Amino acid sequence: MAQKQLDVLSVGDVVTDAFIKLLDKEEKVEHGKDGDWLAIPFGVKLPYDHAEVIAGVGNSPNAAVSFARLGLNSGLVANVGGDGWGREIIKALEESKVDTRFVHINPGKVSNYHYVLWYKEERTILIKHEEYEYHWPRFRIIDIPRWVYFSSISKNAMEYHDQLAHWLEAHPPVKLAFQPGTFQIEAGTHRLKKIYQRADILAVNREEATEISGGDHGNVHDLFDKLHELGPKIVLISDGHHGAYASDGSNRYKMPIYPDPKPPYERTGAGDAFTSTFVAAIMKGADLEGALLWAPINSMNVVQHVGAQAGLLTESQLNHYLRTAPAHYHPERFN
């Protein structure tokens, strides 16, 4: 079967997540000046509830599956090891209808494997990014996507950012959505200047927006102003239970969360669901208001399931929730 042009090519590291459900009575959360800490007794054997292993996840893979679920022709650029987990990752992605032609298998290397300590509805993730040789793929004309969605990648892959930036310069029709990961934020805006300048959509949470821009955490307009100065055409800022904000430089909106039908079960992937759904709506021709109506719904449903992908919705399911939304669920101009 002939391969079709991709609507969107997600770029970023792919992992297997092993969720370990901790027992409420065995652990606790301690509140300190520098944040909340998961406290576990030291030097003892502790029972746990159960474990669930989910292959083919990560910021960009989660987005790739979200795009596919919403009916877009979706692919992924990533690295896996030449081990059994690498094969399981590729299988899981293909079962989710993600094109894996650009997933590179690294013989002799192991695949990324993370451990998720799942306590009540929250989680702490133990991460380790394997060191692969990152090389931007060679594309035939038919391979060139309409959009690139770029997110979390290993800190040893800085030259890879340069390769992507150079390729984007050579292909101006391709649009870019950028959801920076931890190491990309730590690299700073000067080092990734070309990526920020090229972004059609920049998606961050409020804390990340403050760190990236150096702006006033308490002033969303200041954050928008400083982030737009970096070059992105659209800036999306999520703010947890407070909702989200979006700006195209001229119009700014605030959006509430979609009401949870019941308390969240597990929160992994809520941000990926929110951002990818917003981007998918823009890709499908929505304006800021339309994209903001979609995004919180997928995020709401993801936290009712384990992992970042099980709760991702189809377009018809999203629209069902939209039709039954409460009256207050709509974007408001934010001036």
Tokens of 215: 């702006």
Segment 127-151 mean pLDDT: 90
Segment 11-22 mean pLDDT: 95
Segment 170-198 mean pLDDT: 96
Segment 175-183 mean pLDDT: 96
Segment 55-73 mean pLDDT: 97
pLDDT the model gives residue 55: 96
Q: Is the pLDDT of residue 2 over 60?
A: no
Segment 268-288 mean pLDDT: 95
Segment 99-125 mean pLDDT: 93
Long-range contacts of 246-251 (CB under 8 A, 24+ apart): 246/278, 246/288, 246/291, 246/292, 246/331, 247/288, 248/288, 251/288, 251/333
The domains found in the chain, sorted by start residue, are 8-14+57-111+130-333 (3.40.1190.20)
The whole-model pTM stands at: 0.93
pLDDT the model gives residue 103: 96
Q: How confident is the model at residue 1 (pLDDT cuts 50, 70, 90)?
A: very low
What's the mean per-residue pLDDT of the chain?
Answer: 94
pLDDT the model gives residue 3: 67
Segment 199-218 mean pLDDT: 97
Please write the tens of the pLDDT for every residue from 216-269.
Answer: 999 999 999 999 999 999 999 999 889 999 999 999 999 999 998 888 888 888
Residue 334 and residue 289: Cα distance in Å, rounded?
Answer: 12
Segment 282-302 mean pLDDT: 96
Check residues 129 and 52 and name the one with the higher pLDDT.
Answer: 52
